[in-house]
């Protein structure tokens, strides 16, 4: 192990192995402030090569959380109707590049106010033969769920342009 802050060819700080283990860099901070864990070529603010675990070993009923925060300023500037609050994206390699397979989006719907943050979740998947994820299910701020529609009119609203859209089976 070593610490090397004289990365003249990479412009950053490297904490990790030497020799053959160098390129597996335990932690690398690029000259532009990007952090790589397990990689010396981070492409985002934080790139992790490998799995990430968030563990809760406290002797209580609380679990850990992952928070995606959005504000329009450093002083908690109020977000607006239509603002994206964050997304979780899933990609797979197609032999040439990473292609989006699915994602979950959170978006502000309506006018937020003090202790009031109306939002919707949309679930998107990429159909076979396509390269873009499209919306398949929506959960609105009032709890209405839409499958095949982004504007559900009832607690559960299923829409399909043609053929039967609901199948119920039982082993009984």
Instruction: Give pLDDT tens digits for 41-78.
Output: 888 899 988 888 877 777 888 877 888 889 999 888 99
Give the integer Cα–Cα distance in Å for 5 and 31. 10
Q: Does pLDDT of 1 surpass 50?
A: no
What is the mean predicted confidence (pLDDT) over 127-143?
A: 94
Give bridge partners of residue 114 from the DSSP assignment.
none
Under 8 Å between Cβ of 85 and 107: yes
Of 57, 13, 2, nearest in space to 35 by CA: 13
Q: Is the pLDDT of residue 8 over 50?
A: no
Q: Do 10 and 22 form a contact (C-beta atoms < 8 A)?
A: no
**Unique residue bearing structure tokens 């390129």:** 23
Instruction: Measure the CA–CA gap between 50 and 38, rounded to whole angstroms.
Output: 7
Direct distance between the N- and C-terminal alpha carbons of the chain, in angstroms, rounded to an integer:
62
pLDDT tens digits for range 14-47: 776 665 555 555 788 888 889 988 888 888 899 9
Q: Which pLDDT does position 24 carry in this prediction?
A: 58
Mean pLDDT score of the chain, rounded to an integer?
A: 85
Q: Are 121 and 139 in contact (CB under 8 A)?
A: yes
pLDDT of residue 3 exceeding 70: no
Find, among 24, 42, 23, 47, the residue nearest to 32 by Cα: 42
- Cα gap 5→136, rounded to integer Å: 48
Q: Sorting pLDDT into bands at 50, 70 and 90, what band is 161?
A: confident
Confidence at residue 53, expressed as pLDDT on a 0 to 100 scale: 80
């Amino acid at each position: 192990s070593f610490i090397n802050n004289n990365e003249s060819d990479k412009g950053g700080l490297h904490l990790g192995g030497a020799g053959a283990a160098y390129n597996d860099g335990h932690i690398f901070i690029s000259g532009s402030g990007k952090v790589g864990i397990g990689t010396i070529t981070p492409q985002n603010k934080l790139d992790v090569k490998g799995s990430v675990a968030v563990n809760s070993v406290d002797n209580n009923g609380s679990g850990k959380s992952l928070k995606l925060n959005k504000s329009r300023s450093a002083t908690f500037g109020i977000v607006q109707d239509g603002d994206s609050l964050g997304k979780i994206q899933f990609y797979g390699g197609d032999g040439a590049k990473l292609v989006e397979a699915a994602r979950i989006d959170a978006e502000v719907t309506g006018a937020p106010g003090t202790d009031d943050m109306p939002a919707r979740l949309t679930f998107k998947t990429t159909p076979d033969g396509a390269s873009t994820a499209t919306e398949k299910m929506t959960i609105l701020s009032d709890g209405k769920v839409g499958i095949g529609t982004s504007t559900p009119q009832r607690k559960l609203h299923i829409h399909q342009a043609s053929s039967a859209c609901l199948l119920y089976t039982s082993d009984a």
